[in-house]
Amino acid sequence: MSKTIKKIGVMTSGGDSPGMNAAVRSVVRTCAYHRIACAGIYRGFEGMIEGDFIDMDARSVKDIINKGGTILKSARSKEFRTPEGRKKAYDKLTEAGIDALVTIGGDGTFTGAMIFGQEYDFPVMGIPGTIDNDIFGTTHTLGYDTALNTVVEVIDKIRDTASSHNRLFFIEVMGRDVGHIALNVGVGAGAEEILIPEEDLGLDRLLESLRRSKRSGKSSSIVVVAEGDKIGKNVFELKDYVEANMTEYEVRVSVLGHMQRGGSPSCFDRVLASRMGVRAVEELLNGKTAYMVGLLNDKMALTPFEQAVKGKSKINMELLRVSEIMTT
Ligand code: F6P
């Protein structure tokens, strides 16, 4: 028999992403709708260990649906990885009357939540929030769509200067282990080449492809490189290599960095966050625990934490072919 839940704690953890605030708002308002209490937990598992909580009601989350970042702050906690840290967190939650959790973050967040839930028989649900889209069990994580739009806008601007100077630009985008952002923005912004960790193009083929596009009459080029791409040591080494082998090109590098994580969430991310928050709270109230709420075939879908953290999110191979054809 599942226990009756009286107060849900909500937290954001790991790298922040646009849409996290919209998810917090949804969790808080769904709790209010079902007349149960809700508390915000500051700085993820760190704040949980320290008992850094704030009681929240429907009005506490006004005017945040459009805000980037997370009002609850985010952190990566080493202490929560230890049994002692988790015991402290359990004591603080119990003291505050929090008897269930909604955790918003990536696979590190879900791993922590899963272990904690098992150790203390504590109901936990997860909402995937990361711009990298690297979580199994959902086609979209919160913030991914916003990041794609942000990056495409920036690449459009870089293209203006690239073509004015007949330059080749390597643009590095986020994606530590996966190429979702690179692949989609590469197609969306019409890049000549897209380098992702899932596909090892190799330096020779990269050169060949750039030579081909030069021969076909292109005077400037954009190559989108995922942060986790494995060709060369880094994007600057790529630049040196291409400059040494293609003297006809003047090459520049742009590393977009953390600006990709900021900004007001897109409508898609706001709607997704609102849907996920409702579902996460209602599943907890139905007695479910240790699941992540995801989006599959445009429907909310539950994936056990264990699968969400072990499974690999796959890139859309069709997009690679589309890109190849578009750069003819
Ligand atoms: O949120 C995921 C991510 O954006 C990765 O793509 C990137 O490698 C990492 O976060 C950067 O993390 P930090 O903010 O800790 O430097």
Is 145-261 in the same CATH topology as 7-143+265-310? yes
CATH of region 145-261, choose from 1.10.287.130, 3.40.50.10070, 3.40.50.460, 3.30.465.10: 3.40.50.460
**Catalytic, out of 132, 134, 229, 269:** 132
pTM (two decimals)? 0.96
170 DSSP β-pair partners: 223, 253
Nearest protein Cα to ligand 1, atom 14: 15
Mean pLDDT of 194-207: 90
Q: Average pLDDT of the chain?
A: 95
The larger pLDDT score, comparing residue 187 to residue 234, is at 187
The predicted-structure confidence for 141-170, as pLDDT tens digits, reads as follows 999 999 999 999 999 999 999 999 999 999
What percent of the chain clears pLDDT 90, i.e. is strictly above it?
88
Cα separation, 173 vs 181, whole angstroms: 7
Residue 196 CA: distances (Å) to CA of 3, 167, 176, 224: 46, 22, 10, 9
Of 174, 229, 234, the one to substitute when testing ligand 1's pocket (max ligand atoms within 8 A of C-beta) is: 174
225-279 pLDDT, tens digit per residue, is 999 988 777 899 999 999 999 988 899 999 999 999 999 999 999 999 999 999 9
Active site residue 52: no
Dist CA 194 CA 201 (whole Å):
9
Residues present in the chain in total: 328
CATH match for 7-143+265-310 among 3.90.1200.10, 3.40.50.2000, 3.40.1110.10, 3.40.50.450: 3.40.50.450
User: From the alpha carbon of 131, which atom of ligand 1 is closest?
Assistant: 1
pLDDT in tens, 33-44: 999 999 999 999
Least confident of 200-209, 238-247, 281-290, 297-306: 200-209
Residue ranges per structural domain of the chain = 7-143+265-310, 145-261
d(CA 56, CA 4): 20
Mean pLDDT of 76-100: 97
* Better pLDDT: 248 or 171: 171
What residues line ligand 1, using a CB cutoff of 6 Å?
A: 15, 130-132, 174-176, 227, 261
Residue 1 — very low, low, confident or very high, per pLDDT cuts 50/70/90?
very low
Q: Which residue's alpha carbon is nearest to atom 15 within ligand 1? A: 15
Give the residue from 147, 50, 138, 92 showing the smallest Cα distance to 126.
Answer: 138
Q: Which of 181, 178, 231, 182 is nearest to 206 (CA)?
A: 231
Determine the 3-state secondary structure of 191 from DSSP: coil
